[in-house]
A and B are shown apart, each in its own frame.
Chain A
Amino acid sequence: MSLWTLILQRILLMIATLFCVAVLTFLIVNVLPGDVAVAILGDQSTPDQVEALRQSMGLDQPILLRFGDWFGGVMRGDFGTSLTFGRPVGPMIWGRLLNSATLGVICLLVMIPVSILLGAVAAVTQGSVLDRAITAITTFLFGMPEYVLALGAMLIFAIWLQWLPGAAMVSPGENLFTQLDVIVLPVLVISLGGATYIIQMTRASMIDALGTAYVRTALLKGVPRWQVILKHALPNAMLPTLVEIGLSFGALLGGLVIIETIFNFAGVGQLMVMSVQSRDVPVLQACVLVIAAAYSVGSLLADIASMLLNPRLRT
């Protein structure tokens, strides 16, 4: 099978998965014992209020019909109307999606090269003070909740040193590059959280690669050490790292939700937390779908990249 057939297959699989995700999201919201109307109105609502809301939201109609309506809307980019703002959800999300995507991409651009560099350096200087320092710091950051890092960074850099703003007051869809200082702390925190896995994986697979016969052969042949490291060992060590980056994408998105909330950054994650607090179900549903879609696209890209890098996966 050619590479393109495989990639096409993988894309079709992603579309099928996304459909299932939409179905499951709809089911969780509509079929589980908790009533949407009760969830919106809260526990203190009277049965009359609940009944009125059910009718105005069309909740008294058959479930399949409602799913058809909702899914058809989603396909056209219409996510319904926000209950708290009374505005269509679609336009609310797009501007924020742009912000979140920009933040996420900047984080990846900072995090991946720096982590690979640190992991490779640790592997090459294995056992040295530098290696021990890198390993100790990643071990310490391993499993640290994002909000602890975020609040720590905010306390140190925004409140005590007052170098950077502690809140990122950007409006949805605003050009982030005009005020880079507000995204420094979010980027720093997200990158620190995500880097630990990538550094550890790069270090481990780099050590494996350095111990192989072809590296020894190249060295004995007289190829300069830096060239062996960069051209022979590193490309082969990249594969597990790439898989690792794909796997940590879900954690990155979850982290984004928390970090956006803490730094008041107008992204999809912050909107999701706001919709949870105000029980704005249409917005919550839309946010979940958008984030799950981003997750699927991320794993798709990681899979395609590993297929391109590793001929053995193209079978």
Chain B
Amino acid sequence: MTTLATDPQAARSSRILTYLRPAEIYVVFLLLLIAIGPYIAPYSAYDFDPASSLLKPSWAHPFGTDEFGRDVFSRILAGARPTLLPAFASAVLGIIAGTTTGLICGLMGGRTDQWIMRGMDVLLSFPALILAMLVVTMLGGSTTILVFAIALIFWPRSARLIRSAALDIGKREFIEACRARGEGMGYILFREMLPNLRSVVIVDLALRCSYAILLSASLAYLGMGAQAPTPAWGLMVKEGQQFIQFAPWLTIFPCLTVALVATGTVLLGENVRRRFAISQRLAR
């Protein structure tokens, strides 16, 4: 695929998603949650209180308490940071790597492009979750490693998208003029080509952020990345699941939070993608 295909369904079915335009307040809401979540939490997210363990949801504890007596609602509020920040970080990191690779492919073309994209194809022949699990297991389960693992997943996907748009730009005359002027590679890539691809990068960022939340929530659920006692949402679901028979609120509320945030951000990403009319197939 050399050209940036426009999405045939973009114009028509955007109707579905314009209903969800308010999804945009999600961004504000999530940033707010990250910024002040831990401070508005009514209880501590970490301190044990054996006297009030496994309490049902009530006015004092709207989402109930866990086996150590910690307030689930407070933990969810405090969990926005450890859940969302690594996701955003990995999306940004993956896009920086992918955009650079895509731009280089677009500028150089020919054999360089072919070989780099072959390498990217090998990375793409692992299902996303499987490669992330392998990398995190082999390098150790810290949050930093998780960020790098997810960035590695996004790298080829982002590179493919940027490249498809950059190939066109790389052949334009103003790039030729830059070369003749004797500009360096870095200047051409980031000062000449990148500004012309702004919309593609924005779409990429929106989509990767949403997938990153989904992917990191799944990895956290499998016990990778943040470790106890961090109140990461996926980890809370994993921990609460063993009490699903008699304390279902430990599973239900973190699950609902993850579902709400993940669906919201994925829809928002799709919304942005359609607004810039970039094909779904490329953006995957």
Contact = CB atoms under 8 A, between A and B. Distances in A.
Interface of A: 17-18, 20-21, 24-25, 28-29, 32-34, 36, 39, 43, 135, 139-148, 151-152, 154-155, 159, 200, 203-205, 207-208, 243, 247, 250-251, 253-254, 257-258, 261-262, 272-273, 276-277, 279, 281, 284, 288, 291-292, 295-296
A141 B259 CA distance: 9
Interface of B: 8-9, 12-13, 16-17, 20, 121-123, 125-131, 133-135, 137-140, 210, 214, 217-218, 221-224, 234, 237, 241, 244-245, 248, 251-252, 255-256, 258-259, 262-263, 265-267, 270, 281, 284
Given A39-B140, A152-B255, A17 B121 contact: yes
A247 B125 CA distance: 11
A139 B20 contact: yes
A87 to B, nearest CB: 21
Contact of B259 (A25, A39, A148): A148
B140 A25 contact: no
Contacts of A208: 8-9
A295 B126 contact: yes
A143 B262 CA distance: 6
B252 A155 contact: yes
Contacts of A140: 263
Contact of B138 (A28, A147, A262): A28
A159 B122 contact: no
B8 A204 contact: yes
A34 B125 contact: no
22 contacts: A21-B125, A25-B134, A32-B138, A139-B20, A143-B263, A143-B265, A143-B267, A145-B217, A145-B262, A203-B13, A204-B9, A208-B8, A250-B128, A251-B127, A253-B130, A254-B128, A254-B130, A262-B241, A272-B130, A276-B222, A291-B130, A296-B125
A22 B6 CA distance: 35
A143 B13 contact: no
A265 to B, nearest CB: 15
B267 A243 contact: no
Nearest to A42: B140
A32 B125 contact: no
A25 B138 CA distance: 11
B245 A159 contact: yes
A142 B269 CA distance: 11
**Interface residues of B, dominant DSSP:** helix
Contacts of A139: 16-17, 20, 267
Contacts of A281: 138
A118 to B, nearest CB: 15
Nearest first, the 9 closest Cβ-Cβ pairs linking A and B are: A143-B266, A254-B129, A204-B9, A250-B127, A20-B122, A34-B139, A148-B259, A253-B127, A148-B255
Nearest to A36: B138
Contacts of B13: 200, 203-204
**Interface residues of A, dominant DSSP:** helix
Given A143-B214, A148-B258, A152-B255, A277 B223 contact: yes
A201 to B, nearest CB: 8
A205 B224 CA distance: 39
Identify which of A145, A204, A258, A296 gathers the most chain B CB atoms within 10 Å of its CB: A145
A291 B267 CA distance: 29
Contacts of A205: 8-9
Contacts of A207: 9, 12
A243 B218 CA distance: 25
Nearest to B136: A276
A138 to B, nearest CB: 9
Nearest to A250: B127
Given A139-B20, A276-B133, A155 B251 contact: yes
A159 B244 contact: yes
Given A24-B122, A143-B210, A288 B130 contact: yes
